[in-house]
Amino acid sequence: MMQIHSDSAGNKHSLINVMHRFIAAANNMDETIMVPSLLRDVPLEERAAANNNNNVEPPCTNKQRDMYEHYLLLKSIKNDMEWGLLKEMRGGASFLEMAVKQEEQKPLTGDLLLDDNADLEHQFHYHLRGLFGVLSKLTIQADHLTNRYKREIGGGNFMR
């Protein structure tokens, strides 16, 4: 079994730390939002005047129509990270099991193996950078959704 050294877990730039920050933000969001149905029909974007006062772009510019859909998306991503991809595919095999089987079925030759290893390193770094970026954005969005919910509840803006 692979052990995680405390040095790598304590590094603020480690993948594990970025994952923990997102999961903590999503858990905070989930604990704060006691009545998620109140998020229905509340636009994801705040009023233009509020954004102009802060001179900041809103962090949530997604295709979700309201805060409720965005809440569900963030919760779903957190669950996928914690429990893995549970969606059943082809004969009950999970996505991960299918990916491993596909890699095992590829023929291995000397030249191909060297090329694949170099490509694997490139793919790993490419996807690692992408994962860092996505997890950082998701953490910001979960924090934004939590803070916005607090403002909306505190100000009574849900009653229209």
- The sign of the dihedral angle between the CA atoms of 89, 91, 97, 101 is negative
Round the average pLDDT of the chain to a whole number and report it.
76
pLDDT reported for residue 2? 46
Beta strands in 45-137 (DSSP E): none
Q: How confident is the model at residue 44 (pLDDT cuts 50, 70, 90)?
A: confident
Residue-wise pLDDT tens digits, 53-98: 454 444 555 565 889 999 999 999 999 999 886 654 445 555 556 6
Question: What does the alpha-carbon distance between residue 67 and residue 73 come to, in Å, rounded to a whole number?
Answer: 10
What's the whole-number mean pLDDT along residues 5-23? 80
From the list 21, 8, 9, 64, the residue with the least C-alpha distance to 41 is: 64
Reported pTM: 0.66
